[in-house]
Every structure is written in structure tokens, then in C-alpha cells.
Amino acid sequence: MANDPTGLPKADAGEKELALWMLERIHDSEKFMGLIRDARVAGRADVLDTPNYVALHTKRIAPLYQGAHEEQIETSVELAGLIDKLAERDLLSGREDLIEKALAAYLKAHPKGDAGLPKNWQSTVDLARAEIEGKSSGAFKPGFATELATAARSELARRAAKEKGRGVGRDGQ
């Protein structure tokens, strides 16, 4: 199971192992945000639907969708506001995440579908896994795997500190 604490990698594990582990955490966060979103739509806000939780998970998801370079696209004033508002409403990690979901919606509705377009772009997590494992390259920003491995080390350090804090609390009783 993805959240099984016994499945934690060691902090000094190789970059590939750490990056793959972090990718699974991101995937878990996306699934979790989906549950929160469904609960909101159904009018029954989840007990874990708090600003802190949402911020933690969206921040974790963002690197999957954000490239290294900032580019300016021209858009109407209304659309610029709409993009941010939709991302916020749908608990997405940012503009880039929304653009990717909107592309999927566009191709689903378009009569030509994805005919004539670069293939296999929709499954972000699978593609990211292939990039980390070295089976593909260039689909994500340079240093993508390294960034995920760094995030994994921070996550493991955060968990270790939390566990240590719990242990201290028990000893003190």
C-alpha cells in the first residue's frame, strides 16, 4: 500500500528510488484531492477539507505540472481571472495543473480526439515514472527526478522529526 510506513525508503537511498517514492506520494495526494472535491460537489465537505491540508497536498502536486521556465502567454483579462478561480475551486495545484486537465477535457469533447497529436501525454504519472526510470526523456523539465528526490528527502526528514516528537512525548509521560 502506498501509505504503508514500512515501505519508506531510507534517506540515503538512490535518487531514482526516492523520486519514484515521491511520485507515488504525489499520486496519493491527487487521489486525496479528488475525494475532497467529490465530497464538496456532493455538499458534504470532508472532515479533512481544511486550508492547511489542501495547501500541503496542492504544494506537493505542483512540481508534477510546473516546468522550469516561465513563459508569458497572452490572454484576455477575464480568462486570466477565470484560470486562477477554476484552479482554486477544483483544488488543483495551480494554473499549469488546470491547463493539463482542460486539455484532457478539450480532446475528450473534440471530434478528432487526439488524432495527429503527440501520443501518450495524458497519463502524467505514468510518463513521469518513465522519465525517472530513464525510459523516456525530455517530456519534463531538466532535473525533474532530482527535484522529486530532494522533495522526498524533505518529506522523510519531516516524518522522522514527527515520529521523534511522538516518542519524546511518550517517554515524558
Partner 1 sequence: MHGRNDEEEERKRQERERNRLSPSDRLYGRGPRITASGFEDRRSKRRTGRVVPLPLRLQPRVRAIVDAIIDRDEHPSAVVFFEVLLDMYQQQMGAIDQSLLPSDEELIRRYLKGQDDNDGK
Report, in Å, the least distance between residue 12 CB and partner 1.
Answer: 29
Nearest residue to 27 via CA among 55, 52, 51, 63: 63
CA angle 80, 123, 39 (to 5 degrees): 65
Q: Using CB under 8 A, pick the residue from 1, 42, 47, 73 that binds partner 1.
A: 73
Q: Using CB under 8 A, pick the residue from 2, 102, 157, 161 that binds partner 1.
A: 102
In contact, 94 and 66? CB cutoff 8 Å: yes
Binding piece for partner 1, criterion CB under 8 A, among 22-30, 46-54, 81-89, 150-158? 81-89
39 sits near partner 1 (criterion: CB under 8 A): no
Binding piece for partner 1, criterion CB under 8 A, among 12-20, 44-52, 115-123, 158-166? 115-123
Taking the C-alpha atoms of residue 100 and residue 61, their distance in angstroms, rounded to an integer, is 13
Q: What is the dihedral of CA 156, 161, 166, 172, to 10 degrees?
A: 150
Q: Using CB under 8 A, pick the residue from 7, 34, 67, 143 that binds partner 1.
A: 67
Q: Using CB under 8 A, pick the residue from 5, 71, 170, 172 that binds partner 1.
A: 71
Type of residue found at 69: H
Q: What is the DSSP secondary structure assignment for residue 117, as one 8-state letter?
A: S
Binding piece for partner 1, criterion CB under 8 A, among 15-23, 43-51, 97-105, 162-170? 97-105
In contact, 19 and 155? CB cutoff 8 Å: no
Report, in Å, the least distance between residue 33 CB and partner 1.
Answer: 14
In contact, 29 and 61? CB cutoff 8 Å: yes
**38 membership: H or E segment, kind and range:** helix 15-41
Using the minimum distance from each CB to partner 1, give the nearer residue, 148 or 156: 148
Total of residues contacting partner 1 (CB under 8 A): 49
Interface with partner 1 (CB under 8 A) = 41, 65-86, 89-90, 95-96, 98-103, 105-110, 112, 116-118, 121, 127, 138-141
